[in-house]
Amino acid sequence: MAADGTAQLIAVDWGTSRLRAELLDGDGVRLAEADSSDGIGTLEPGEHEAAFERLVEDWPVVPAVMAGMIGSRQGWREAPYIGCPATPDELAAATIRFETTAGRPVAIVPGVMVRSEDRDGDVIRGEETQMVGLLSRPGGFDGLAILPGTHAKWAALGNGAIQSFQTFFTGELFDLLAHQSFLRHSVDAEHENLAILPDFALGVRRTVERRVPFLSAVFSVRARHLLDDTAPVDNRAYLSGLVIGGEIVAARDSGLIPGGGRIAIVGSRTLTKAYHRAMAIAGHETEAIDGRRMVIDGLLQIARSLGFLGGKDKP
Amino acid sequence: MAADGTAQLIAVDWGTSRLRAELLDGDGVRLAEADSSDGIGTLEPGEHEAAFERLVEDWPVVPAVMAGMIGSRQGWREAPYIGCPATPDELAAATIRFETTAGRPVAIVPGVMVRSEDRDGDVIRGEETQMVGLLSRPGGFDGLAILPGTHAKWAALGNGAIQSFQTFFTGELFDLLAHQSFLRHSVDAEHENLAILPDFALGVRRTVERRVPFLSAVFSVRARHLLDDTAPVDNRAYLSGLVIGGEIVAARDSGLIPGGGRIAIVGSRTLTKAYHRAMAIAGHETEAIDGRRMVIDGLLQIARSLGFLGGKDKP
């Protein structure tokens, strides 16, 4: 296996608003990185190859593995969802592979879906690669993975596969409530780390301990402001606590939190800390794992499975 | 008591976006009506009297009773919230009374608040007058009143008073999800009566019977669309069912639905029908009551309590 600082792979995280690429050697050591605002939300059909080449034109012609919305119906080429349980090798086998005009091999990672009689279907696109990263850690990973974000994912990982998952609308809902709803006047304050404020914990407790239903609790942000003249930054922290606490209660009621076993929170430092704190209030210990690192590790694992790194034959 | 077609009262429903007035005789028979887009959201401080006079300048100089956001901090004069339980006479006694430059007596109805240790405070402004209308019906009203809308109110009425209430963010949340969220592409269709579509009932059942948590169920609208290519109008009906069903489950979990007794749904024809259907799926019988009528009836009752109609002394 080559791991000598020779470029072997371009790992690409291509979402709706950003395109990010890293040039890696066979061990996953970063040799270069680049990013642009050519998210798929800004591109018309037929513009993806040019956007990609613009970003990496100075880099050697090595294979690229891509995850994220780039594989959606609105992306470069659609990589259809595969079912659960899904292993890293199955995800690799289901990648959409082709060559660019410049002769660069490309593999686009598919999303993962759940279909069941009990509830509606569910879909993931992008986070599956972070889960592959988690599964590929030394010793693997068995337990619950929480991936906070616009659409938070709670996934059961085990036996080397994504077993099932459930999506919560939490991140987008917080943004809608904070910026577009009539609550916006009550929470109009910026703060880089709301979860350290006391009212964040208060909001979590309202939903987790007192079990005030989320749909009702949200309005109390306005009531607090009107009746007690609470400060906007505190109201914002409170709203954040209500939303994350509401998500935890809903996940618990859905049986997603195992009695024992590991719980990993995968994401940015700010989000993992907020969820760690909220989960602690709910009585659950968690470990924080860097989300960006997991994307790269997942793309590397899929590249390995595809034989792009020379360390393993194609499946 | 005069009830001879002689104008005795102007009943005013003055909200954020609309100003509506009716000229009534002593029995509440409508002699004239007028409305304008001079909602309080469009007016600067000091502009309220002129906006009101513009609307009613041709009407006789009789007292006006006003309910809605006109009594808020951003309104004409603030009518501070009074606590629960609140009777019609207490609301009348707490009105803010003054005379316009034109010599017209005005009374602005206060809002009602709940403060408790168990949960955050809650506030109502405008709906209290509809509840007074309900309480003033022949035989009164004992039971649960549901007032759907932007911020739906569930109120316990009894012993001639508003005993308590809880607000749900349902209506505004549906609008945010349907128009501002990433779901908007999946529900982009207009329909005047979503509740008659089969997918409305399906959405209600998901939340009420299967108890899929609202925060997670919402995402399934997108998953349905992606995986099953369901039609936008059906997705919109489904989302509406999820939101109203989620509200019903939350209200039930909060102990708001009495084991027996009356349940009234007060609102527009479309909304009362949707809630009636959803409540029926949840196993509860309800009666529909016209919301506009209840505003007028409530304002009349308060006018009577204030002696504006000559039928009763001032309290």
What confidence tier does A293 reach under pLDDT thresholds 50, 70, 90? Answer: very high
B125 touches chain A (CB under 8 A): no
What confidence tier does A118 reach under pLDDT thresholds 50, 70, 90? Answer: low
CA–CA gap between residue B288 and residue B277 (Å, rounded): 11
Does B228 contact A121 at a Cβ distance shorter than 8 Å? yes
B51 pLDDT higher than 80? yes
Q: Please spell the DSSP secondary structure of A140-161, one letter per residue.
A: ---EEEEE-STTEEEEEEETTE
B120 pLDDT higher than 60? yes
User: What is the identity of the amino acid at A140?
Assistant: G
Per-residue exposure over A101-112, b if at least 16 CB sit within 10 Å of its own CB, e if not: eeebbbbbbbbb
Listed residue (A71, A56, A67) closest to A103, CA to CA: A56
Per-residue pLDDT of B127-142, as tens digits, reads: 999 999 999 999 999 9
Instruction: Kindly state the average pLDDT of the residues A224-246.
Output: 94
A222 touches chain B (CB under 8 A): yes
Per-residue pLDDT of B216-254, as tens digits, reads: 889 999 998 988 899 999 999 999 999 999 999 999 998
Instruction: Kindly state the average pLDDT of the residues A262-286.
Output: 96
B219 touches chain A (CB under 8 A): yes
A178 pLDDT higher than 90? yes
pLDDT at A111: 97
Q: A187 and A200 in contact (C-beta within 8 Å)?
A: no
Token pair in block for residue A242: 């209500």
Chain B residue closest in CA terms to A250: B213
User: What is the identity of the amino acid at B48?
Assistant: H
Average pLDDT, chain A: 93
CA–CA gap between residue B216 and residue A152 (Å, rounded): 9
CA–CA gap between residue B152 and residue B250 (Å, rounded): 12
Does A215 contact B250 at a Cβ distance shorter than 8 Å? yes
Does B250 contact A181 at a Cβ distance shorter than 8 Å? no
- Rg over alpha carbons for chain A, rounded to the nearest Å, is 21
A282 touches chain B (CB under 8 A): no
Delimit the domains of chain A by residue range: 7-141+293-305, 168-290
B314 pLDDT higher than 80? no
Does B222 contact A123 at a Cβ distance shorter than 8 Å? yes
B226 touches chain A (CB under 8 A): yes
Written out in words, the top-level CATH class of the domain with range A7-141+293-305 is alpha beta
- Rounded-to-10 torsion of CA A16, A18, A24, A26: -10
A312 pLDDT higher than 90? no
Per-residue pLDDT of A30-79, as tens digits, reads: 999 999 999 999 999 999 999 999 999 999 999 999 999 999 999 999 99
Which residues are B287's β-sheet partners?
B264
pLDDT at B259: 81
What confidence tier does A175 reach under pLDDT thresholds 50, 70, 90? Answer: very high
Listed residue (B239, B142, B136, B150) closest to B186, CA to CA: B239
Per-residue pLDDT of B158-195, as tens digits, reads: 999 999 999 999 999 999 999 999 899 999 998 989 99
CA–CA gap between residue B11 and residue B130 (Å, rounded): 12
More confident call, B24 vs A214: B24
pLDDT at B210: 86
Considering the four listed CATH numbers 1.10.150.20, 1.20.210.10, 3.30.420.310, 3.50.50.60, the one that applies to the domain covering B168-290 is 3.30.420.310
CA–CA gap between residue B127 and residue B298 (Å, rounded): 10
For an interface test with B, give the residue of A74, A210, A219, A256 to mutate (most B CBs within 10 A). Answer: A219
The reply to whether CATH 3.90.79.10 applies to domain B7-140+293-305 is no
Does A121 contact B224 at a Cβ distance shorter than 8 Å? yes
Residues making up chain A, counted from first to last: 315
Chain A residue closest in CA terms to B73: A226
Residues in B touching A167 (Cβ below 8 Å): 216, 219, 223
Q: Which of residues 80-99 of B touch A (CB under 8 A)?
A: 81
pLDDT at A210: 86
CA–CA gap between residue A60 and residue A5 (Å, rounded): 13
B75 pLDDT higher than 60? yes
B210 touches chain A (CB under 8 A): yes
Of A115, A122, A227, the CB nearest to B123: A227
Chain A residue closest in CA terms to B244: A215
Residues in A touching B216 (Cβ below 8 Å): 166-169, 250-251, 254
The contacts of residue A116 (CB under 8 Å, 6+ apart) are none
SS (H, E, C) B152-200: EEEEEEECCEEEEEEEECHHHHHHHHHHCCHHHHCCCCCCCCHHHCHHH
Q: Tokens 């592979």 sit at which residue? A: A97
Cβ atoms < 10 Å from Cβ of A165:
25
Domains B7-140+293-305 and B168-290 share a fold: yes
Q: Is the peptide bond before A213 cis (omega within 30 degrees of 0)?
A: no
CA distance B242 to chain A (A): 12
- H-only helix segments in A38-138: 48-56, 88-93, 127-135
Map residue B275 onto helix, strand or coil.
helix
Per-residue pLDDT of A83-115, as tens digits, reads: 999 999 999 999 999 999 999 999 999 999 998
pLDDT at A265: 98
pLDDT at B233: 96
What confidence tier does B151 reach under pLDDT thresholds 50, 70, 90? Answer: very high
